[in-house]
Amino acid sequence: MQANLPKYDYDIVIIGGGPAGYTAGIYAARAGLKTLLIEGAGTVSQITITDIIENYPGIPDGIGGFELMQLFKKQALKFGLESLPRDVTAVKKSSAAEVIWEVTAGDKIYKTLCIIAATGAMWRNLGVPGESEFAGKGVSYCATCDGPFYRNRDVVVVGGGDTAIQEALFLTHFAKRVIVIHRRDRLRAAGMLQKRAFAEKKIEFIWNATVEEITGPEFVTGVKVKNANTGVISEIAADGAFIFVGRLPYTEMFKGLVEMDKTGFLVTDEHLRTNADGIFAAGDCRAKLFRQVVTAAGDGANAVHSAELYIDEIKGQTY
């Protein structure tokens, strides 16, 4: 480190303890970068509540989400990553030096040359009875993850946007029947997706309806649906309920610092750089089309590579 470089605690602070965060931790620590990963004390990665993951390369028999994250963490700590269970409450530029970022977690401020935002996102819930009770037991927020479990079965998809219709189309590769329930009388999805969905014989639509309850003894056996025009409630038999009514990213701490899209996801370039020098984003918190464990891990590795180039540039400058 050059003597004239402002004092700081870490080369990289990673915010978030999911697949993107811990992959970034593995790559950063292994590269010899002094790195701290802060994983939320009050939030958990969505992967940890996933019962089984069957599509992660190299694990042909599948693995529980919590178990997989423990392996990520063990590998990162092996390379010397520091990990801290705290909720980050503030991120700001240091008043002492423009190249330093300050991350507040708990009662401490950590000074760093760069930040990798890997804060993740959560699916927006319907908030109806049975939803949380049957999570992982017929209620799913990821057709790519869970679709193969519903071969030759009837499932419902709740939502009418791009994601809902894309996932409904994907489910037709497995399910016998896919029933799309939408609260309006028309879809919000892109025209091409609508055209494909309307042409698909396995997909049926229930318009002007809302899901009031998800039912079943131990696993989902149906959903109760309310007609918005008549108020009549009816029950639809189904083995699974796939809910796609939006995602909520954990990006509040970056408001005013980093460019976001209209729903709050962090905008990056292909190198995972945000518009704020020294802040990179990886995983589900960034604006992108496809969100899987494997893509989050790839993001984490790419973000560290870009951060390392940035750090080399900073350390080569004179202040």
* Closest listed residue to residue 242, CA positions, set 180, 158, 126: 158
How many residues can be counted in the chain?
Answer: 319
* Closest listed residue to residue 18, CA positions, set 81, 72, 82: 72
**Distance (Å, whole) CA 142 – CA 163:** 10
Residue with tokens 């996933």: 50
Q: Is residue 104 classed exposed, middle or buried when 0-12, 13-18 and 19+ CB atoms within 10 A define those classes?
A: middle
Cα atoms in the Cβ-side hemisphere of radius 13 Å centred on 201 = 1
What DSSP line would sit under 161-189, residue for residue?
Answer: SHHHHHHHHHHTTT-SEEEEE-SSSS--S
Residue with tokens 């905008």: 267
DSSP state, 129? T
The residues that are catalytic are: 142, 145-146
DSSP state, 236? E
